[in-house]
Copies of this chain bind each other. A is one copy, B any other.
Amino acid sequence: MNGIQKFIIGKPLDTGAVVKNIDATVFSGGNIGELYVEPDKKTITYKMSEETVVYGLGETLRGINKRGWLYVSNNSDEPHHEEGKHSLYASQNFLLVDNGDGACFGLYIDHPGEVRFDIGYTKSDVLTVSAEDFDFSLYRIDGETPLEIVKNFRTLVGKSYEAPLWAYGYGQSRWGYKDASDIRDVRDNYRKLGIPLDMIYMDIDYMQDFKDFTVNPERFPDFEAFVREMKEDGIRLIPIIDAGVKIEKGYDVYEEGIKNDFFCKKEDGTPLVAAVWPGKVHFPDFLNPAARKWFGDKYKVLTDMGIEGFWNDMNEPAIFYTEDHLKEVFGELDNLKDKELDIWGFFGFKGLLNSIDNNPEDYRRFFHEFNGVKVRHDKVHNLYGFYMTRAAGEAFERNNPDKKILLFSRASFMGMHRYGGVWTGDNMSWWSHLLLNIKQMPSLNMTGFIFSGADTGGFGCDTTEDLMMRWLEFSIFTPLFRNHSALGTREQELYRFGHAEDFKNIIELRYALIPYIYGECTKAIEENGMYFKPLSFEYRYDERAREIEDQLLAGDSIMIAPVYEQNKTGRYVYLPEDMKLVRFRSFSDYDTEVLTKGDHYIKAPLNEVLVFVRKGKKLTLTEPASCVDKLDVNKVASVIEF
């Protein structure tokens, strides 16, 4: 069997995730192969064998093998994403089940609202997919191998976004660069040390009162000239765009949105008042095509000033509070004030306070105009970030047809991969989040999010020099390569630490690898394949390879094995076949060693990057430069063959 079957269950909404027309079976329940669908119980169940591995779900928690947890598709502003959580910023409802015996299949649930994936959590051998709104198209995807299933699935959802070549450079970001002078400092410090740099990201600080498509004129007196100045230095500025539009008389985006009825409304027809960074905002109804076009065209304000890339944020959407619920909270507080709180009363009080932000009830307070139908937000919640990014992506096709624009988003959904990439959201400066980053990459690649990466060094919490170095040593292989951190945390630009030479060597190695990485990503995009693959996708019947989640195949030529533990100067590596180890101290200083199939303990001091060249493959490096535009991608600095 090799193909895709479509089953219509209940009354699905058209999410826009799927681009390929397929004959559908209206399905009222029963077996689809080994899957058992029970609309009455709102469940799809599958009995797993001990050997079954379940891949998929794109950007979420835990391992490459998703067994042993409950995942909930419910895009969430969740900076504390540790093991106990169930949802992150993304919903990619694609599963790939591989039984040890050779049988494998894919499953895609095209549902815009909450879907629950209990993958051996309640019962260790039962996979249960459930949804309160049991209305969706179910796609069963067959293929001979996991990779073939991925490729089939991707024909269904369309070709992945292609980022411009320069976007494969290294980017420095921090919430807190408040003006042009701060940004010049970043540039100067990098250039002084000779560490390559292609982008400086602008977090919310650049805007006037956090208003989308504005630039604070005091802090950036001549923004257009500043963009030009930076670009002359080989550095592109990449501003953030948030989902919420500030409520402010006279602010054009607000005024136009009101005039044209483009904001999400409550039951009573008035626009929802929520609060995020700008204070009180309305949320554009990106699900409404006219509103989407209008908002997308706004990016032109910035592209006209020379901006060539954006990151869309806060588009789950994150809600700090809604006006309505905050009123309720203050009302309750008034009631509590004069009461003698017993301890349960106190916990009620604490619960009330914790209900203020990202409250599920608030997501039921507003509506979209979706394909001409009024739909309550929670029913289509997971589409919001996708449609915001689609707004931008479609606008770039209209307004900037001759240019590739860099675009990536925090929230995502299947289909969004056609318009932009993702970063994995507000992670922490934790070693465990470096490991999570490693595990997330192949899952994102399965679902077509090729241009992806994490906040290197960690966004929240304070980083350390060694974590920064080890994280960079992984991130040099991720297409999106950005160092980003939060206001109030330890500064983590690479010139803040000692060992500048080591940092420089690592970043230069990235630049030397850009032709390889870009080429392999482009191939993955063209072939609906994957740039980052789990070992098991290539060495499927190697039972050791099936369990390895801390080594990845990056493109066709190499395997990587990052060190992700503190105070370690080496690690175990399993080779599913003979490979040539390359130990890079810099792009030009490395040694190689042929290692045989099997287990190896490999020394890897803090400043060394381990790469394993696969049999019959070669890795070509170019000469690094201070930025991608200055890179001679055809120049060969060295070729490592095995």
B567 and A466 within 8 A (CB) = no
Q: Could you say which of A70, A83, A353, A566 has the most chain B C-beta atoms within 10 Å of its C-beta?
A: A83
In the complex formed, the residue of B with least CB distance to A65 is B567
Per the bound structure, the CA–CA distance linking A467 and B499 in Å amounts to 40
Q: Which of A356-371 contact B (CB under 8 A)?
A: 356-357
What's the nearest-Cβ distance from chain B to residue A467, in Å?
8
17 A-B residue pairs with Cβ-Cβ distance under 8 Å, sorted by A, are A62-B566, A68-B466, A68-B566, A68-B567, A69-B464, A83-B461, A84-B461, A124-B464, A210-B343, A275-B341, A279-B343, A320-B343, A330-B337, A547-B568, A572-B572, A574-B601, A599-B601
Residues 52-93 of A, flagged 1 when their CB comes within 8 A of B and 0 if not, give 010000000011010111100000000010111000000000
Docked complex Cα distance between A567 and B64 (Å): 10
- Write out, one digit per residue, whether chain A residues 559-591 have a CB within 8 A of any chain B CB (1) or not (0): 000000011111010100000000000000000
Name the interface residues of A99-127: CB closer than 8 Å to any CB of B.
121, 123-124
Cβ < 8 Å to B, chain A residues 383-418: none
Interface residues of A in 301-322 (CB under 8 A from B): 320-321
Q: How far is the CB of A123 from chain B (nearest CB, A)?
A: 7
* Measured CA separation A465–B357 after assembly (Å): 33
CA distance A80 to B601 in the complex (A): 34
Instruction: Give which listed residue, B428, B570, B599, contacts A547 with CB less than 8 A.
Output: B570
A75 to B449, CA, bound (A): 44
The count of identical subunits is: 2
Q: Are B124 and A67 in contact (CB under 8 A)?
A: no
Q: Counting CB contacts under 8 A, is A233 at the interface? A: no
Are B430 and A464 closer than 8 Å at their CB atoms?
Answer: no
Q: Tell me which of B70, B82, B210, B567 contacts A63 (CB under 8 A).
A: B567
Measured between alpha carbons, how far is A82 from B82 in the docked complex, in Å?
9
| Residue among A123, A341, A467, A570 with most chain B CB within 10 A | A341
> Is residue A190 within 8 Å, beta carbon to beta carbon, of the partner chain?
no
In the assembled complex, A296 has its CB within 8 A of some CB on chain B: no
Residue A346 interfacial (CB < 8 Å): yes
Q: How far is the CA of A122 from the CA of B121 in the complex (A)?
A: 41
Query: Is the CB of A277 closer than 8 A to any CB of chain B?
Result: yes
Instruction: Please pick, from B83, B330, B464, the residue contacting A431 in the complex, using a CB distance under 8 A.
Output: B83
A333 is an interface residue with CB less than 8 A from chain B: yes
**Cβ 8 A contact of A464, one of B68, B342, B465:** B68
A6 close to chain B: CB less than 8 A: no
Distance A466 CA – B63 CA, assembled complex (angstroms): 14
Determine whether A155 belongs to the interface, using a CB cutoff of 8 Å to chain B: no
| CB atoms of A567 and B547 under 8 A apart | yes
Closest chain B residue to A80 by CB distance? B80
> Size band of the A side of the interface?
35 or more
A596: B residues at CB distance < 8 A: none
Q: Is A297's CB within 8 Å of the partner chain B?
A: no
- Enumerate the 3 nearest inter-chain pairs by beta-carbon distance, A residue then B residue, closest first: A84-B461, A83-B430, A353-B353
Closest to A497 in B: B124
A298 beta carbon closer than 8 Å to chain B: no
Which residue of chain B is the closest to A336 with respect to CB atoms?
A: B330
Cβ-based interface call for A257 (8 A): no
Which chain B residues border A320 with CB–CB below 8 Å? 343, 346
In the complex, what distance in Å separates the CA atom of A186 from the CA atom of B512?
63
A137 at the interface (CB under 8 A from B): no
Residue A432 is within 8 A (CB to CB) of chain B in the complex: yes
- Contact of A566 with B356 at beta-carbon distance under 8 Å, contacts A121-B464, A343-B275, A466-B124 already known: no
Say whether A462 faces chain B, with CB atoms less than 8 Å apart.
yes
Contact yes or no, A428 B84, CB < 8 A: yes
Q: A67-B567, A567-B68, A572-B572 are in contact. Are A432 and B83 (CB under 8 A)?
A: yes
Residues of B within 8 A of A467 (CB): 68
19 other A-B residue contacts (CB within 8 Å) besides A82-B432, A275-B341: A63-B566, A63-B567, A80-B80, A83-B430, A83-B432, A124-B464, A124-B465, A124-B499, A275-B343, A278-B343, A279-B343, A320-B346, A321-B346, A330-B333, A330-B337, A432-B432, A544-B601, A599-B599, A599-B601
Q: Is A429 an interface residue (CB 8 A)?
A: yes
Task: Check A460 for interface membership: any CB of B closer than 8 A.
Answer: yes
Q: Is the CB of A498 within 8 A of B277?
A: no
Q: In the assembled complex, which residues on chain B have CB atoms less than 8 Å from the CB atom of A20? A: none
Does A259 reach chain B (CB closer than 8 Å)? Answer: no
Establish whether residues B84 and A430, one from each chain, have CB atoms under 8 Å apart when the complex forms. Answer: yes
**Residue in B closest to A345 when the chains form the complex, CB atoms:** B279
Residue numbers in B under 8 Å from A82 (CB-CB): 82, 428, 430, 432
- Interface flag for A350 (CB, 8 Å): yes
A467→B461 CA distance, assembly (Å): 27
Contacts of A461 in B (CB 8 A): 83-84
Name the B residues within 8 Å of A68 (CB-CB). Answer: 464, 466-467, 566-567
A124: nearest chain-B partner, CB-CB: B465
In the bound complex, what is the Cα–Cα distance between A357 and B343 (angstroms)?
13
Q: Which residues of B contact A341 (CB under 8 A)?
A: 275, 279, 326
Report the nearest B residue to A83, measured CB to CB: B430
Do A428 and B567 touch across chains, with their CB atoms under 8 A apart? Answer: no
- Tell me the complex Cα distance, A76–B190, Å: 40
Which residues from chain B contact A357 at a C-beta distance below 8 Å? 350
Residue-by-residue, is A428-439 near B (CB-CB < 8 Å gives 1, otherwise 0)?
Answer: 111110000000
Residues in B with CB closer than 8 Å to A428 are 82-84
